[in-house]
Structure 1
């Protein structure tokens, strides 16, 4: 009886997993948590949360807390954007970094009506002409996933980052099964285009999970520096209650972060 119950539970979990993936897109509200390692040393965790409001305004947030010996780094990143067709349209972006060494903030406002992008990184201010192909560094991840689902061939993106305009290109390496602590995933492997092989960054996304990132590995001169792996994820229905709770949680977290910064 116990053995049959375990088998039934396993089947139910598999069915529930398939149901959870059915009908999802990169813009389905979700939470994904990752473990961050330096080589084989665990540094901490990072979490992504995507929510959407009634006016088709999306809120994407990233929170990380990593440390190594006496060194620490905490980051809170926020992105707000809308959707027009298959194109994400950025609105606001902010970064707050605290920990060992100098703290800093970054803020970007995409003023489409004024045809200008305002940027403030640390104490430096800058302006750039508004371009419909510009992204912020956080929401561009979602645009990448949207483009993969649309079978887009050219994976090239321009973003405002740290007071500058940066261009990033990506190559598809091929299909690969990834086995990590949270499970086994059939993925598509990508590499960041660079002129030099001294720095290499690879990442793996699962097509059956709307190209949710499964793993990212970064090498410096052939030595693995960062290894980020998926711990857990959860898709949430687009309900008013879920949106309200997510926005309230964001407001409370931001308020606490601002209070700590002021102190």
Structure 2
């Protein structure tokens, strides 16, 4: 069982509910579900849901339930953000709840733009970082990446608050590639995570015709395939579930964090 289940990219039958592919954008409400494998062993499933916005307020959710033998890992992640101009997402709050084999933990971040600070809490560790309009959370950055691809941006470099630290990630385009998986055949653009060493390699494929929806992700350690995540199904249009309310348990409270600081 891998130590972490990546949340960066991890959906093929269209139930449009009145929405056609020609009408879709990155921020069109959608649900995407993936099958997760460890090598060739099926671990479980992961699901992304972008809810219909309330005005300019968006919620993006990730839920995964994977396991191997007696080991299990469940994660519930929520990102709340707004949209500036046409292509710039602005994070507000981010939360992670992990349960399963081993210690459970929570992670929260609050992007307090008015205070010019980002509050972070990972497990029992608290931290503060200077606010930056190019600082993202690890979930909504996926949508920003897709928006940037639709805008034909050349620089694919992102900074995010993750596990109590600020991390930089860079990506490069490998080329165009047809991906054939159980759920269908997709024309994609292939990307690679830029790293100094080839001991760890991560590739992912996104479909331009589906607003750059991720189709597949494969991660290698020392040349051996560790994770293989494949699109199982997707649906454009509002989900059947309502927006979940923000709770004190799930998210950092900006006011309390400000008083503490």
- Shorter chain as normaliser: what TM range? 0.7 to 0.9
- Matching residue of 2:30: 30
Q: Deviations over 1:116-139 (max 9, x none)?
A: 000000000000000000000000
What pairs with 1:88-103 in structure 2 (closer than 5 Å)?
88-103=89-104
Distance 1:16 1:121 in 2: 38
From the two aligned structures, give the one with the greater helix fraction: 1
- Matching residue of 1:6: none
Distance 2:169 2:204 in 1: 14
Where does the alignment leave 5 or more consecutive residues of structure 2 unmatched?
A: 1-12, 251-261
Structure number, greater radius of gyration: 1
**Farther off after superposition, 49-58 or 218-227:** 49-58
Aligned residues of 2:125 and 2:164 also touching (Cα < 8 A): yes
Q: Measured at CA, do residues 194 and 15 of structure 1 come closer, stay the same or move farther in structure 2, by a change above 3 Å? A: closer
Q: Measured at CA, do residues 144 and 233 of structure 1 come closer, stay the same or move farther in structure 2, by a change above 3 Å? A: same
Q: Using the TM superposition, give the Cα deviation of residue 18 of structure 1 relative to its aligned residue in structure 2, in angstroms.
A: 11
Distance 1:142 1:14 in 2: 20
Aligned residues of 2:110 and 2:119 also touching (Cα < 8 A): yes
What pairs with 1:1-263 in structure 2 (closer than 5 Å)?
20-85=20-85, 86-236=87-237, 245-247=241-243, 250-251=244-245
Runs of 4+ in 1 over 3 A off after TM superposition: 13-19
Where does the alignment leave 5 or more consecutive residues of structure 1 unmatched?
A: 1-12, 258-263
- Matching residue of 1:8: none
Distance 1:212 1:236 in 2: 14
* Cα root mean square deviation, aligned: 2.5
Q: Measured at CA, do residues 236 and 15 of structure 1 come closer, stay the same or move farther in structure 2, by a change above 3 Å? A: closer
Q: Using the TM superposition, give the Cα deviation of residue 23 of structure 1 relative to its aligned residue in structure 2, in angstroms.
A: 1.4
